[in-house]
Amino acid sequence: MKKQPHHRYPQTLIDFQHLEGGQYGNLRMIARDRDTLEIQLGSDFVRINADGASQIAQALECFSGAPPQLIVEVDDETDVVVEPISEEPKLPRPRRAPRRRPSV
């Protein structure tokens, strides 16, 4: 009989360091437990539940240009109707200027 894998928390999902702008420079997303996501910006943090994390994920998918989610309806006569959830315009992805090293 196999044991189910034990999920160890807290688990760091993503860690960005040396970010530009502001006084913080670090961004971390940490799964505190199965139902709680902690977002740290420098030494400040907020904790959100799974529903809030799902909403953030949907917003990021929209921003990154992921295809919209679809609503699929099936009638009694086996007609299938597929409609996009929303027709929001996609924002262009920001372009970064090439990094230049300061001249010494």
Domain residue limits, the chain: 11-84
Beta carbons of 14 and 29 less than 8 angstroms apart:
yes
Q: Which comes out higher in pLDDT, residue 8 or 23?
A: 8
Q: Could you report the per-residue pLDDT of 24-39, keeping only the tens digit for each?
A: 889 999 999 989 999 9
Q: pTM value?
A: 0.57
How far, in Å, are 4, 32, 51 from residue 7 at the CA level?
Answer: 9, 11, 20
